[in-house]
Amino acid sequence: MTVGLVIVSHSARIAEGVVELAAQMAAAVEIAPAGGTDGGGIGTSFDKVQAALTAADSGDGVVVLCDLGSAVLTAETALDFADDPERIRIADAPIVEGAVAAAVAAASGASLEQVLAAAQDQAPAAAQPATEQQDLSAPAPSAVAEIELANQHGLHARPAAELVRTASGFDAQVTVNGVDAKSMLRVLALGLDRGTVARFEATGAQATEAIAAIELLAADGFGES
């Protein structure tokens, strides 16, 4: 099971398009559209949002992304009537970028709060104490790799999603050119083109394993070979 997503938009076409895009990055994640009115017009529908929440929930909870203000109000109303509202989160995030980032996080097995944080491009609160509890007298294992990107379009959406999924699978803090390699939005913001030498650094218990996995992923063209 994974955390599901619901896309609430005033336009059925926008909701369906965002679902289609996000699903390209995370085919195994349940992503349900709730766009337009019941009659097919521009607006939002309480019934559509309710149905989408049911469709997207596989048991691990649902993150909802909305386009405009009244879409948020409709989602909040549906949440009020939900059987388990504590397993639903409404993200304060751009609907397209947030949906893609959340989908990639969900596909990596992230928790409800972690998927919400990915959509909002924030570090989840639960992730902070681990760093604070480290024994400063014993430096954490670290590893580094510098890799020239061979992909035709560099680290665009699909290879970036593969990088995020790979980095998220290890107990280590992983960065690429200084930004969190587990954040889809931050990786994409780098705009790393073909021929760029990207510097990957990892610290933590599985730092060496994380860098080794990224090197293998790069050798495979980040899934595009």
b/e string for 119-137 if b means 16 or more Cβ within 10 A? bbbeebeeeeeeeeeeeee
**Phi and psi at residue 211, to the nearest 5°:** -65, -40
**Same-domain status, 85 and 157:** no
β-pairing, 62-66 vs 4-9, is: parallel
How far lies 209's CA from each of 12, 212, 213, 215, in Å?
Answer: 43, 5, 6, 10
Catalytic residue ranges: 10
- Same domain? For 117 and 142 the reply is no
Asked if residue 104 and residue 46 are part of one domain, the reply reads yes
* Same-domain pairing of 120 and 140: no
Q: Name the band, by pLDDT with cuts 50, 70 and 90, for residue 43.
A: very high
Task: Identify whether residues 116 and 146 lie together within a single domain.
Answer: no
pLDDT at 134: 47
Supply the range of the domain harboring residue 115.
Answer: 4-125
What is the per-residue pLDDT across 86-129, written as a single tens digit (0 to 9) for each?
999 999 999 999 999 999 999 999 999 999 999 998 755 444 44
Residue listed under structure tokens 């349940």: 30
**Strand, coil or helix: 26:** coil
How many domains, the chain? 2
